Structure 1
């Protein structure tokens, strides 16, 4: 049982940032590079540029995919967030699947917010064995230092934290989903605490790629890492892609009435709680 817990911890290292990682698209800005080939990438300026551009767009969709493996044990997570800043609505869905020592498990969490309040839904198991639980969510009641999901994905804070102080190398321009972007790469240059979530681990290999539009916003961020802990090795990858800029709409989920009923009569409800990962 101890080995299972250790393995689960290792598998989750690569997923620590998935709940808060963010990537923000731009409008394009033509076919020019974001910076000259020999010009250092100022990530503070880049963060300001793409945050302002995304606010101007008014809405966006972000898809995050992460995976890790320790021997035959695997863990994966996909998170999709749709944010309509103008309507002040957010929908987020995350699915985490694990296979540890031949035993598979999974959990799906969903979050719907309308003007700062809404509901979270958690589904454990699958098929006839699945069970849904609900919580009410009020952003005004979040602990100090916490932020709304749309803000976390908007500012890219935790994504940039992974490579804080790194020297990115400009690799020229290319096409990404019909938009000209500048590719930046780094190897072996990272913030270990941000990457591992502060766990006692040694990062033996790391590389990352950043795709930036000419107007200074991020369309994709991804990394691959090898982490050593307690004599075991975890291989991890994480990719963020942004789409539907300015055209994302957020509709009420089909489980909203069930959530209202469950939290209203407290039957199967968990009350008000923290945001899902």
Structure 2
């Protein structure tokens, strides 16, 4: 399952990069006065520079996840970052779970040191090393695909996400994926693509708070296979990064190793 997941990840991101480009937003045919122009601006998907907005906010939490479901079994990769630029500290967590695999680690960075906790088969061990905090760029890069404009994305309404009002944009184009068929899922069999949807939630500052795409198909045997990619930004300006509860254990292991 792990090999298949990585294959799906590579193939899907390559195809998705072709679907998501920097081209102009859809022309909705609005040619009206100022009020109509304002509505047209909202109808056209516009996402501002993520790195600038998050730096200005001072802190945030970014969560990236990727999951595949086939024959009723789901494998998921989750990578989350809690970043506090004001205190110059961060925590990154990574987890992979599925029928044939399970692993996770957590890295805390503060005061020029990185402390990492690994867990395998219920047993934890630690690594301590000098490191400046680079989590900000890593967190932003995780969602790099989120901030390209999607041709013909349409505004379908507003909703609340993480306590703020956001515009909801949706995009779907089955023809893009049907060309790739089973290859889009990393499958050697025949798969008919039945749904492809991108959802982007954008706040009033132009920050994409959530980007999610789902790809669903059906095999010749009638089984459903699906892929989901999701990137979310929460706690903008209100994320704190306290010491993890295992920090003393990591320092103790470092002291024992140095003795």
Q: Check whether the contact 2:172–2:198 (CA below 8 A) recurs between aligned residues.
A: yes
Residues 1:36 and 2:21 are matched in the alignment: no
Find the residue that maps to 2:238 and give its secondary structure: coil
Per the alignment, residue 275 of structure 1 pairs with none
Q: Residue 182 of structure 1: CA displacement?
A: 1.1
Q: Check whether the contact 2:166–2:202 (CA below 8 A) recurs between aligned residues.
A: yes
Matches within 5 A, 1:47-86: 47-48=48-49, 50-86=50-86
Q: Residue 91 of structure 1: CA displacement?
A: 0.8
> For residues 10 and 116 of structure 1, what CA distance do their matches in structure 2 show?
38
Q: Which of 143, 156, 159 is the equivalent residue of 1:174?
A: 159
Q: How many residues align?
A: 221
CA-to-aligned-CA distance 1:90-133 (integer Å, 9 cap, x gap): 01223321114xxxx422210100145311111012xxxx1112
Q: Check whether the contact 1:66–1:76 (CA below 8 A) recurs between aligned residues.
A: yes
Residues 1:160 and 2:150 are matched in the alignment: no
Q: Check whether the contact 1:111–1:121 (CA below 8 A) recurs between aligned residues.
A: yes
Instruction: State the superposition RMSD in angstroms.
Output: 3.9
Q: Which of 4, 13, 16 is the equivalent residue of 1:10?
A: 4
Unaligned 5+ runs, structure 2: 14-37, 178-182
Unaligned 5+ runs, structure 1: 1-6, 19-31, 141-146, 193-197, 268-277
Per the alignment, residue 219 of structure 1 pairs with 209
> For residues 113 and 80 of structure 1, what CA distance do their matches in structure 2 show?
14
Q: Which has the larger radius of gyration?
A: 2
> For residues 132 and 199 of structure 1, what CA distance do their matches in structure 2 show?
37
> For residues 216 and 254 of structure 2, what CA distance do their matches in structure 1 show?
43
Q: Which has the higher contact order (CA 8 A, sep 6+)?
A: 1
Per the alignment, residue 183 of structure 1 pairs with 168
